[in-house]
Amino acid sequence: MSKIARWTVGMDDPIAVRKRVKFNPSTTTDTVRVGDLVCYDWDLAGDVEERTTNPASAHMGSDDNETTYAEGAQSYNARLLLVEKPATANLMFFAGVVAALGPEGGGHGDTLEIFVPNGAVVPVMCDQYCTVGRTIVAVRNGAYEGSYPSSAARPIGIAMETVDRSSTDGLVWVKVDPTLFMWNYHASKLMIDDEGTTSDHIVHRINVTTAQTGGRFTAFEIVSESSGAINTTGYAAALYVEHDVTAALGGGQQATASIWTNITGGTQTCCQYFGLEVGLYETGATITGVGCIAPLCLRTQLAQATSAGTHYMMYLRTEGDASDAPDGLFACYSAKAINMDAKTSAAVTHVIPIKMFITESGGPTAGTYYIMVSDTA
């Protein structure tokens, strides 16, 4: 069974909590070290009862003299007692850091003590260069040592000392706290209860308000920096959102992101309201060889466009009746926004109004201008 013990690493450190577990590796040749990272064996086929008749039995879960139980009828939850090598399928169930080895010396079936990931600073085996208070340490697929947070890894802590372990694995003081990072991922996808198929579902939710009259208010902020020379096969994004549609639509709508600005009160006396604001700024960088620069890029691929319906690059829609119709297709803050030049036109049959907010030297005065649509080639 499990054993909880309290153990302090240093004078000012948070209390580190130990738990006793059983090592159940995927191969009998695996051996763990103090500081290694382990995950729970959450997908154990059936639960097990403690060994009672054969002292030579090496570990739980595979010997004939151990009683197994079907899912839902366990004598106790062995999945919280058996730990194994980190893998893509079990990173969601990170158990902790090996604190002490048992009589098997960290081998197959050993009784280990692990540090529960509760925010305490504990020694972690790492293979990366660590900078105090900055380097993120992750548990990754197929490795016991901590490393960088790749796509096949889960961030679990922050290094608390500066030391180079990139050439040879070694212990590093790490604040082990997976809750510092938003990471809810499963190799087979986490899922919503099948019983709630007609309900509204929200996995992560923020609901805040402010009465401030100055400064800036942001409910959720992401700040990232790309300081490396990413090559043509790379990709950098402060926020990446993907929505995979795997079922036929039943009359609703699918969207990768739905963004709303709901104006429910107050009196507008200045400024602007935007449903979405997107900006692109260059402030001194040397940009060469760039094929395209734009604050917004619309990309589409629809192989079944002909049979699926009319295919557009952009779809515009207004809510309400005719009184809610917009004053134009879009508004321009200045002539520079669309590089407007004075031009003559053939016979004009339709116009699209463009609102200019300010007057520029050498440009048109503020007012309404038009994109002219001609029936003459």
- Return d(Cα 63, Cα 292) in angstroms, integer: 63
pLDDT of residue 13: 56
Cβ atoms of 216 and 210 within 8 Å: the answer is: no
Residue appearing with tokens 């001609």: 374
- Return d(Cα 167, Cα 165) in angstroms, integer: 6
- Return d(Cα 57, Cα 48) in angstroms, integer: 14
Q: Which helix (H) or strand (E) holds 173?
A: strand 170-176
Q: DSSP per residue over 331-356, as a string?
A: EESSGGGTT------S-EEEEEEEEE
pLDDT of residue 166: 95
pLDDT of residue 47: 52
CB-based burial label for 355 (10 Å; 0-12, 13-18, 19+): middle
- pLDDT, averaged in runs of 10, over the chain (377 residues): 46 76 81 96 65 45 49 59 92 96 92 95 96 97 95 95 96 96 89 80 91 91 86 82 82 85 80 88 79 85 68 84 82 81 69 81 83 72
Q: Residues in the chain, how many? A: 377
Dihedral of the alpha carbons of 83, 84, 86, 91, in degrees to the nearest 10: -40
Cβ atoms of 129 and 138 within 8 Å: the answer is: no
Residue appearing with tokens 């260069």: 129
| Residues 6+ positions from 372 with CB-CB distance below 8 Å | 345, 348, 350, 351
Residue appearing with tokens 């030579």: 56
- Return d(Cα 181, Cα 139) in angstroms, integer: 13
Task: Report, in angstroms and rounded to the nearest whole number, the Rg of the chain calculated over CA atoms.
Answer: 30
pTM listed for this prediction: 0.79
- Return d(Cα 259, Cα 97) in angstroms, integer: 41
Cβ atoms of 91 and 73 within 8 Å: the answer is: no
Cβ atoms of 94 and 5 within 8 Å: the answer is: no
Residue 175 tokens, joined: 């604040």
Residue 50 tokens, joined: 């403690």
